[in-house]
Structure 1
Amino acid sequence: MVEDKVQDAGPDDKKKAAVKKKKLKPEEEKDADLSEEDLELKSNLALMVSRIAEGDPGVQALALQSVSTEIRSATTSMTSVPKPLKFLISHYQTLAEVFEKTPDGKNKQQLADTLSVLAITTSKEGERACLKYRLSGSKDEVGSWGHEYVRSLSGEIGQEYNSRREKEEPVEDLLELVAKILPYHMSHNAEPEAVDLLLETEKLEWLVQHVDAKNYGRTCLYLVSCCAYLPEGDDKAVLQTAYDIYSKQGQEADALRIALKMNDTELVKRTVASCEDALIKKQLGYLLARQGVALNLEDTAGASMDEDLQMELQEIISNSKLSELYLSLARDLDVMEAKLPEEVYKTHLVEGRAPAGPAVDSARQNLASTFVNAFVNAGFGHDKLMTVEPEAEASGSDRVHWIFKNKDQGKTAAAASLGMITLWDIEGGLPLIDKYLYSKDNHVVAGALLAVGILNCGVQHENDPAYALLYDFVEKHDPVVRIGAIMGLGLAYAGTQKEEVGDLLTPLITDPDISIEVASFAAVALGLVFVGTCHASSVEAILQALMLRGEAELAEPWAKQMVLGLGLLFLGKQGAVEATVEVAKTLNERISKYGQVVLQTLAYAGTGDVLQIQSLLATCGEHIEVEENAAWKGPATLGIALVALSEELGISMAHRALEHLLQYGEPSVRRAVPLALALLNVSNPTLGSMDALSRLSHDTDVEVAQNAVVSLGIIGAGTNNARLAGMLRSLGSYYYKEPTLLFLVRIAQGLVHMGKGLLNLAPTHTDGHLLSGVQLAGILALLHSCFDLKSSLGGKHPYVLYYLTAAMRPRMLMTVDTAGKLLPVSVRVGQAIDTVAQAGRPKTITGFQTHTTPVLLSVGDRAELATNKYLPLSSVLEGIVILKENPDYVESQE
């Protein structure tokens, strides 16, 4: 009724009623929504504050004790402030004034502790009052005030530490406090906070002594994930800490992964030598073989190693059983039957849309079929074009005449395809290749030499046949034969750091009488052999060659390949490249800027260095009047993808940056964008990358379209992706009148079905934590040759496509028992989930299916055992994993 009267009243009456109502409401009515318990707590706290302010030491001590008890015993929800803190906010200033007047002693320390906690909710940003009062109070029992308080205090310690370091003030009191906080974090599942605090205070080495068997996994996972976001120097310190923790906990396989990630050869040797368990040593061998690290056990494994074990381990590291295991995978999946190129093209599916009789020369068509046949049947040992069946040979039907259906470089590619078909099977492949080494046709001889290199790629044989067969041909006068032998050596010894190969190839680079074409192939071969080692004599040789060559030679595309060889020597070495970059600045202007960009991008490959990416974006945005003089913009664009390879966030940001470059970049930048997209998605055809490249494959700029087609093959390599295969079939009918583009479409189709879906090119492995330098070098050798596709893939040297052999690996998970025999077990395979810093024991995969090993793993997949019967000797189930029986297994558990 009263409300109705107020509503009916005029404006003046309403105003009077409001004033009257305000006067009638007492101040205490603000607490009307508080319960009796809350009111009682509020009045008690106010009473305590007044007693603290009285100054009597005895009364003050009791009051402080009561306030402390109330704060510590308070419980709250995740979204609200504890009630004692809320009620004490209004008294913060009073308590701060009392603190200033209180004489030094226990009461002042206790009051400082209380003020430190109150400061979380009341102090202004930048004051760091929480830390100020904590330093004046007792430094013990920091954790008794709760996790949120410790987190807040840790944040202020980091800020104060940086501030003091800039002013060069002492920080001992802060470090004393850090030493109190660290055990609390580590014992309360807050390992990420502990790592962050130690990173801020530059005391990461303290972490090792606080890690135990329960928390080392979460701690190291966080450390390794931090690596991609830290500046140069700090990233190595973080990885070294993770290595020390794994070593302390006896996790040799994980320690070796960190040593490989650091690219530290001495640390790798030390890890293998210090491992005492024979089975774990074998597992380390499988990991080294997967990474492409050639390790000499005679000076590494330690004197105590059994001779039989050393031989067995050397066999594992040399990948001599790789072909056998790969074929057993193929038999298990029933894909042994050879495929013809026509079965890949599936032209009958697009008949009706493409006019009959495609306008393409037969030599180019046969060359495409050669490559498709080689990639699809890679490693299977037989096919329907090149290898001769015993029955056919007996009846006189010689199928190898396929080589002579090609012209010149086509013969080289065809003969070399034998190496790809018999990949990794040295005993079976060499007899098939040998007869072509004595051919009268130099192109066939060159192809046979290249086949020897391809065959031995990634496999070290005890008799070292590749060097013995290729050595003499390097000195031949015919450039075709020379290039075949040089490229064969580069592939056969990729990543092995074999000094004999270096001694053989170096004179070819420095001799000015040898054509720059041959010298550039020698430089790339050296880059492959000594990838990521900063090999001094090779660096000097290539720099010397670039200084001695005339301007006309440096203007050729081959000079750029020579620069690539130099860059590969510094792959992933970061700051070690600085001196060479300074030398590159003194080179002829034709090659100087190009050299600087290539060296810088390759040195920071996979580091995720944001400053490098910003610099490269600025380089791509520079406007050059004469487009021909901006050749360095291509490698700068590719470099954005190369640097961002390390983690998912960087990859997604790189995609966005490339999209902008595509819209606003100059022609040289736009032509490199498809290659950069390919590098970001090797053997990982995401919908976004497929759609972007499909759009670019119809671009009006022919070079953009050509690079996009090649890139479609690289992103789909070995995946058998049906959507991508359909796109390429449509492109084949669209470009039926364009010989070069149709040729590239066919190659892309062959790559998508590479190894019948059992192989991939992805340079990252072990849950994406490791980047294989050898594999990345193989991919880069092809991508850089695409900057001038007319003279390489689409011209005289189509066989540069075989550089991809260095990147080819089976995409399998194979489990073996302690004796090394295949052991089929149930595994769950699904999409990997990022579990870094997640609480509890989160699921590591989603959308999984249960299979029996061996199984195929795509990029981004993760596997875990579906049985407790066996224990894996590797924490990451990829490649070849040794299983041992679980002693605690009970049959009823399953």
Structure 2
Amino acid sequence: MTKDLAAVSPIPQQDPPQEPKKPHVDNGKPIDDTPEELSEEDLQMKNELELCVQRLKEPNDALYRASLESLRTIIRTSTSSMTSVPKPLKFLRPHYPALKAVYETWPESGDKAFLADVLSVLGMTYSEDGKRESLKFRMLGTSEAAGDWGHEYVRHLAAEIGEEYNARITAEPPVATDDIVALALQITPFFLQHNAEADAVDLLLELEAIDQIVPHVDENTFARVGLYMVSCVPYLPYPEDETVLRAAHAIYRQVKRLPEALIMAMRLDDKALIQQDYDACEDPIQKKQLAFMLARQTVSVEAQDETEQEILANGKLSESFLALGAELGIMDPKTPEDIYKTHLETRGTMADSARLNLASTMVNAFVNAGFGKDTLMLVDDSKWIYKNKDHAMLAATASLGMLQLWDVETGLTQIDKYLYSNEEYVKAGAVLAIGMVTANVKNESDPAMALLSEHLTEGPLSVRLAAITGLGMAYAGSGRQEIADMLTPLLEDGGEVSCTAALALGMIMVGTCDGDLSSTILTLLMESPAVHAKSRFMGLGLALLYLGKQEACEATLETLKAIEAPISKSFQVLLEIAAYAGTGNVLKVQAMTRLCSDHLKENDEWQAYTVLGIALIAMGEDIGNEMALRTFNHFMHYGEPVVRKAVPLGIALLCASNPQVHVLDILSKYSHDHDQDVAVNAIFAMGLVGAGTNNARLAQMLRQLASYYAKDPNCLFMVRIAQGLIHLGKGTMTINPYHTNRTLMSRVGVAGLLTVLVAMTDAKHLVLGKSHWLLYHLVSAMYPRFLITLDENLKTKSVSVRVGQAVDVVGQAGRPKTITGFQTHNTPVLMAYGERAELATDEYVPLAPVIEGLVIVKKNPELMETDKE
């Protein structure tokens, strides 16, 4: 059927015809010949156009050029609105077949090419579907700029180029596409100059030539082009997503916007590119800002300047965090009772017991994390450790690392006295505390390696495991080969040591695709496929090596499929979900959903990981997030018990530190489930969803649960842990792995979260058993949710900022507002999930593209020049 624009968008008529007539048909196409009263001006235009057409039909070629010039002038000067077809095109429409016939009869000449241009424009209103006549005649026409015929024509041409490209590459055999790609590159500058950046990007994405947009982008268009390109990435398959990120990186480098380019390099996780961007920065203050951005993502680069090295090592993190605490007036330590508020619970809970003491230890650690002050452990003559028994003493001593988080020097002094204890569990706890206190913070003297290496091979099992885990936490994401070399021999020790070492190696070498480590773990699996509670951590360690690396895991995955061990399936699922973490890959989500729907009677532990996988893959973008929550709802109705118990954990991963009301209602319902595994995991999920938010509604729900489960030690223990998590860092921290306006995913943060969630898939034997210290892996994901502005000397500088809900402005015209419902504060301020900040005045300019974390601001030079005038 014809794209009859005249019929779809009729020209407003003066008087409607009295009697509608049946339309004539020409070659099977209806022609609207309804008489219309034309104004004198329109009638004159119609007559002129018909005269030109008549002359083109005549054999006298002397009149051709003048007639074509006249047609071109009339078409180009006609005005049109968005709701109507330009009148010249409407009047010429009936003559289109005749003009095509005329074209066929003319010999090759400049006039014939000129006529092809006119026919290309007329083809917009007349050509049949699939014929692509606008494009056909454009290719036959003159080399005149397509933009001269107007914006609508260029858009129509772009649509036909896309159709033609798809037709050619799917043809048998495929047809060359160089000519249409060249035409697309001719019209790209027109789109960019006329505020249609999205059209230009869409066209080149369709032609798989997005990298060729780079030379056409300039200072005026880079911001909108870059924003649109980056927002397309979650919807593109591998490796197209990487191609787009590299093109965006090239654009930012071209216009000398190094902070934006560095973000692209970090998204690509390309170490060489990151180093290049860092080295390319010549402004020493700007370079320090880049160092802050790299430190947030725990990326190591080589720096010559001492200050930069300290920033990259997160050396200023503790100092900045404590300054925030002092500013907010929350330096006084809180007790577990301040969190529980047992006087508000309707039923009294069980009397003091070992399990509740352990809960208090952990709550105390979570609530006072990073503040270096508490009422249980860091007080003179502390006897709290000895109020616990056996493995609970390990958790108590290790909590010192959480309390002194990021403050390496003070922390090591506090921990040191416990390192020489004769009590096995106290010593193990001190060893683990060293790993925690140095998490995400690097130190020149490498205290963690120096102090922990001696405990790797000798001493009681608990001390060895603590030392291995501590090294994993301390050097997570560092990729340090010498640490990996120390731990690799331990893989052959068997049992818990092998599994813990594999996990620690996965944390240290996260996302490196280390082939030697993969081979070692696979060999171990083939030789001794024994299954025990901690075997899952060996699979997780292998999976973390490929975190976010997508198809790079294929070879390892095929090897796992060939291994006939009962635990091989679990390893396969963990590997695949980690490789596609945060990509939003719909096909992988569907594959995981299919695996969840199998009703197995045994060896079904891996199905729990598929649920985590759906959340892990979908958490990168909002639509996938929404769909995953709906899928989880179906699992709770129809899934097997192993699937149902993992659903709350999946929800926790999707909404970490983001307590949405509907999610809280869902988890509240699951926390009363008849299956205790589901209830325990739902309670823990409530803690993760509200982590570090001080959410009052959630705190109230947990107090009610404490009364409800007063006689159930396992559920009550988990309620206490959740209460501690909600007040994480007294409400100043987040465990969400996404940062920098939710564009970057912290691989170290995801590794920490995933370790805890995988442990919770068998909570009964691990977290509720003797391995409760696995919860301390959350330190890898913990980070202050502050915004602190610094001056050029890196001293705290209070400036006025607006903080509000982030608004998606991709593709919007003009300069739309990027935040809504904002409030104005003076820095430092706390930022909630989904919030964005902007400076309230023009007095200062930020050196970071995203105002989040530690941001250097300097006086606005333009404003200073105005003041001088």
TM class, shorter-chain normalised? Answer: over 0.9
User: For 1:264-303, what aligned pairs fall within 5 Å after superposition?
Assistant: 264-295=270-301, 297=302, 301=303
Which residue number corresponds to residue 259 of structure 2?
253
Shift of 1:53: 2.6
Map Cα deviations across residues 212-236 of structure 1 (whole Å, 9 max, x no partner).
1111111111121121111211111
**Residues 49 and 785 of structure 1: is their aligned pair in 2 closer, same or farther, counting only changes over 3 Å?**
same
User: For 1:677-756, what aligned pairs fall within 5 Å after superposition?
Assistant: 677-756=651-730
Q: Is the 8 A contact 2:222 2:251 kept in 1?
A: yes
Deviating beyond 6 angstroms after TM superposition, the runs of 4 or more aligned structure 1 residues are 20-23, 25-29, 891-894
Q: Secondary structure at the match of 2:862?
A: coil
Shift of 1:318: 0.3
Give the number of aligned pairs.
Answer: 842
Map Cα deviations across residues 764-815 of structure 1 (whole Å, 9 max, x no partner).
1111110010011000000011111111111111010000000000101111
1:283 is matched by which residue type in structure 2?
Q
Q: Is the 8 A contact 1:55 1:102 kept in 2?
A: no
User: For 1:433-444, what aligned pairs fall within 5 Å after superposition?
Assistant: 433-444=415-426
Q: For the residues of structure 1 that align with 2:662 and 2:405, how far apart are their CA atoms?
A: 33
Q: For the residues of structure 2 that align with 1:600 and 1:571, how far apart are their CA atoms?
A: 9
Map Cα deviations across residues 548-587 of structure 1 (whole Å, 9 max, x no partner).
224xx32x22111110011001101111111111111122
Q: Is the 8 A contact 1:53 1:60 kept in 2?
A: no
Q: For the residues of structure 2 that align with 1:865 and 1:383, how far apart are their CA atoms?
A: 36
Which residue number corresponds to residue 506 of structure 1?
488
| 1:174 matches 2:180 | yes
Aligned with 1:488 (options 470, 480, 483): 470
User: For 1:512-661, what aligned pairs fall within 5 Å after superposition?
Assistant: 512=494, 516-550=495-529, 553-554=530-531, 556-624=532-600, 626=601, 628-661=602-635
660-669 or 491-500: bigger deviation = 660-669
Q: For the residues of structure 2 that align with 1:524 and 1:360, how far apart are their CA atoms?
A: 37
2:447 is matched by which residue type in structure 1?
P
Q: For the residues of structure 2 that align with 1:177 and 1:387, how far apart are their CA atoms?
A: 71
Which residue number corresponds to residue 123 of structure 1?
127
**Residues 55 and 781 of structure 1: is their aligned pair in 2 closer, same or farther, counting only changes over 3 Å?**
farther
Shift of 1:734: 1.4
Q: Is the 8 A contact 1:510 1:542 kept in 2?
A: no
Q: Secondary structure at the match of 1:846?
A: strand
Q: Secondary structure at the match of 2:534?
A: helix
Map Cα deviations across residues 167-213 of structure 1 (whole Å, 9 max, x no partner).
33232321331232122112112222212222222332322211111
Shift of 1:165: 2.8
Q: For the residues of structure 2 that align with 1:651 and 1:788, how far apart are their CA atoms?
A: 25
469-478 or 312-321: bigger deviation = 469-478
Q: For the residues of structure 2 that align with 1:476 and 1:505, how far apart are their CA atoms?
A: 13
Q: Secondary structure at the match of 1:830?
A: strand
Q: Secondary structure at the match of 2:131?
A: coil
Q: Is the 8 A contact 2:526 2:565 kept in 1?
A: no
Which residue number corresponds to residue 459 of structure 1?
441
Q: For the residues of structure 2 that align with 1:659 and 1:43, how far apart are their CA atoms?
A: 67
Q: For the residues of structure 1 that align with 2:612 and 2:19, how far apart are their CA atoms?
A: 73
Shift of 1:495: 0.9
Which residue number corresponds to residue 61 of structure 1?
65
54-63 or 876-885: bigger deviation = 54-63
User: For 1:5-84, what aligned pairs fall within 5 Å after superposition?
Assistant: 30-32=34-36, 34-84=38-88
Q: Is the 8 A contact 2:265 2:274 kept in 1?
A: yes
Which residue number corresponds to residue 8 of structure 1?
none
Which residue number corresponds to residue 403 of structure 2?
421
Map Cα deviations across residues 578-599 of structure 1 (whole Å, 9 max, x no partner).
1111111122331111111111
Q: For the residues of structure 2 that align with 1:763 and 1:870, how far apart are their CA atoms?
A: 29
Q: For the residues of structure 2 that align with 1:885 and 1:770, how far apart are their CA atoms?
A: 28
1:537 is matched by which residue type in structure 2?
D
Which residue number corresponds to residue 316 of structure 1?
311
Q: Is the 8 A contact 1:816 1:822 kept in 2?
A: yes
2:269 is matched by which residue type in structure 1?
N
Q: For the residues of structure 2 that align with 1:846 and 1:28, how far apart are their CA atoms?
A: 49
| 1:90 matches 2:87 | no
Q: For the residues of structure 2 that align with 1:769 and 1:577, how far apart are their CA atoms?
A: 23
**Residues 53 and 330 of structure 1: is their aligned pair in 2 closer, same or farther, counting only changes over 3 Å?**
same
Q: For the residues of structure 2 that align with 1:152 and 1:604, how far apart are their CA atoms?
A: 37
TM-score by length of 1: 0.91
Q: For the residues of structure 1 that align with 2:824 and 2:38, how far apart are their CA atoms?
A: 56
* RMSD between aligned residues: 2.1
Which residue number corresponds to residue 225 of structure 2?
219
Shift of 1:28: 11
Which residue number corresponds to residue 804 of structure 1?
778
Q: Is the 8 A contact 1:345 1:729 kept in 2?
A: yes
TM-score by length of 2: 0.94
Q: For the residues of structure 2 that align with 1:378 and 1:427, how far apart are their CA atoms?
A: 16
Shift of 1:35: 4.1
Q: Is the 8 A contact 2:683 2:719 kept in 1?
A: yes
**Residues 744 and 892 of structure 1: is their aligned pair in 2 closer, same or farther, counting only changes over 3 Å?**
farther
Which residue number corresponds to residue 109 of structure 1?
113
Q: Secondary structure at the match of 1:685?
A: coil
Which runs of 5 or more residues in structure 2 are unaligned?
Answer: 1-17, 25-30
Q: For the residues of structure 1 that align with 2:732 and 2:32, how far apart are their CA atoms?
A: 77
Aligned with 1:783 (options 757, 761, 768): 757
Q: Secondary structure at the match of 2:558?
A: helix
Which residue number corresponds to residue 12 of structure 1?
none
Shift of 1:360: 6.4
Q: Secondary structure at the match of 1:490?
A: helix
Aligned with 1:384 (options 375, 388, 392): 375
Q: Secondary structure at the match of 1:868?
A: coil
Q: For the residues of structure 1 that align with 2:141 and 2:588, how far apart are their CA atoms?
A: 45
**Residues 415 and 86 of structure 1: is their aligned pair in 2 closer, same or farther, counting only changes over 3 Å?**
same
Which residue number corresponds to residue 150 of structure 1?
154
Map Cα deviations across residues 458-489 of structure 1 (whole Å, 9 max, x no partner).
11112111111111111124211111111111
Map Cα deviations across residues 639-694 of structure 1 (whole Å, 9 max, x no partner).
11111122222222222222233333222222211111111111111122212211
Shift of 1:600: 0.8
Shift of 1:409: 1.7
1:615 is matched by which residue type in structure 2?
A
Q: For the residues of structure 2 that align with 1:254 and 1:472, how far apart are their CA atoms?
A: 43
Q: Is the 8 A contact 2:733 2:785 kept in 1?
A: yes
Q: Is the 8 A contact 2:397 2:433 kept in 1?
A: yes
Percent identity, please.
50
**Residues 233 and 55 of structure 1: is their aligned pair in 2 closer, same or farther, counting only changes over 3 Å?**
farther
1:598 is matched by which residue type in structure 2?
L
Q: For the residues of structure 1 that align with 2:210 and 2:492, how far apart are their CA atoms?
A: 47
Which residue number corresponds to residue 27 of structure 2?
none
1:456 is matched by which residue type in structure 2?
T
Give the helix-richer structure, 1 or 2: 1
**Residues 462 and 140 of structure 1: is their aligned pair in 2 closer, same or farther, counting only changes over 3 Å?**
same
Which residue number corresponds to residue 338 of structure 1?
333
Shift of 1:853: 0.7
Which residue number corresponds to residue 9 of structure 1?
none
Q: For the residues of structure 2 that align with 1:275 and 1:160, how far apart are their CA atoms?
A: 43
Aligned with 1:772 (options 746, 756, 781): 746
Q: For the residues of structure 1 that align with 2:59 and 2:651, how far apart are their CA atoms?
A: 71
49-58 or 757-766: bigger deviation = 49-58
52-61 or 695-704: bigger deviation = 52-61
Q: For the residues of structure 2 that align with 1:596 and 1:209, how far apart are their CA atoms?
A: 43
